[in-house]
Amino acid sequence: MIATLHGVVSEKLGDMVVLDVHGVGYGLLVTAEDYGRLATGKEVLLYIHEHIREQSYDLFGFVQLDTKKLFEQLLAVKNVGPKVALAVLDIGTAPAVRGAIAAGDVTLIQTAKGVGKRAAEQIVVELRDKVGLVASDAAEGVVSRPGVSTMDEAAEALISLGYAPQDAAAALKNIDPTIATEERIRLALKG
């Protein structure tokens, strides 16, 4: 099993990069975000997912381990293959995709190439409770929706009650974030 590859980006071909590792060129399918980051001639370390089928052997490369993990979570969804999983990752950064799944934003997920409404709903149903943020994202204060932190349980509760993400953020704006979640929700609903 190949876990990582460390080498020099020798070519960029369509949605694939060729990584030269000691004279062997590995063709790696990458996300649009990673494709933009990877510069020809630069040395990089990529996390690898091998997808082996009877007819093909594909390698998927990721700059960040978190993105690879999300890719593998998407692959676990019924009827989602590697091309669809990669297309879903192309709609935004990994934290933004996690936020969309956690918030149940089927419309945003549907914008991925080859993803219809049923597939988007299936992704949300199967992954909504499994796409928690990793510690490094929480430390950076990643925001998946304008004004709503994905780590804010009170905002997520308001969204599940029918609030738009922006309205949930506005309702919680002047409420002390250090008080209990239940109290914050009560005050937001009252105000």
At 157 the pLDDT is 75
Residue 137 has pLDDT above 70, yes or no: no
- Residue 147 inside a domain? The answer is no
Residue 68 has pLDDT above 90, yes or no: yes
Average pLDDT over residues 143-162: 60
pTM: 0.67
Average pLDDT over residues 40-44: 94
Query: Is residue 35 domain-shared with residue 104, that is, in the same domain?
Result: no
Residue 179 has pLDDT above 60, yes or no: yes
**Host domain of residue 77:** 65-142
Query: Is residue 71 domain-shared with residue 122, that is, in the same domain?
Result: yes
CATH number reported for the structural domain that contains residue 122 in this entry? 1.10.150.20
- Residue 39 inside a domain? The answer is yes
Query: Is residue 78 domain-shared with residue 134, that is, in the same domain?
Result: yes
Residue 139 has pLDDT above 90, yes or no: no
Q: How confident is the model at residue 94 (pLDDT cuts 50, 70, 90)?
A: confident
Query: Is residue 69 domain-shared with residue 58, that is, in the same domain?
Result: no
Residue 48 has pLDDT above 90, yes or no: yes
Q: Select the more confidently predicted residue: 37 or 164.
A: 37
Nearest in space to 90 (alpha carbons), one of 31, 143, 145, 38: 31
Query: Is residue 127 domain-shared with residue 82, that is, in the same domain?
Result: yes
Query: Is residue 85 domain-shared with residue 51, that is, in the same domain?
Result: no
Residue 3 has pLDDT above 60, yes or no: yes
At 132 the pLDDT is 65
Query: Is residue 53 domain-shared with residue 97, that is, in the same domain?
Result: no
Residue 151 has pLDDT above 60, yes or no: no
- Residue 134 inside a domain? The answer is yes
Total tally of structural domains belonging to the chain: 3
Query: Is residue 106 domain-shared with residue 130, that is, in the same domain?
Result: yes
Query: Is residue 120 domain-shared with residue 104, that is, in the same domain?
Result: yes
At 149 the pLDDT is 45
Query: Is residue 130 domain-shared with residue 172, that is, in the same domain?
Result: no
Average pLDDT over residues 138-162: 55
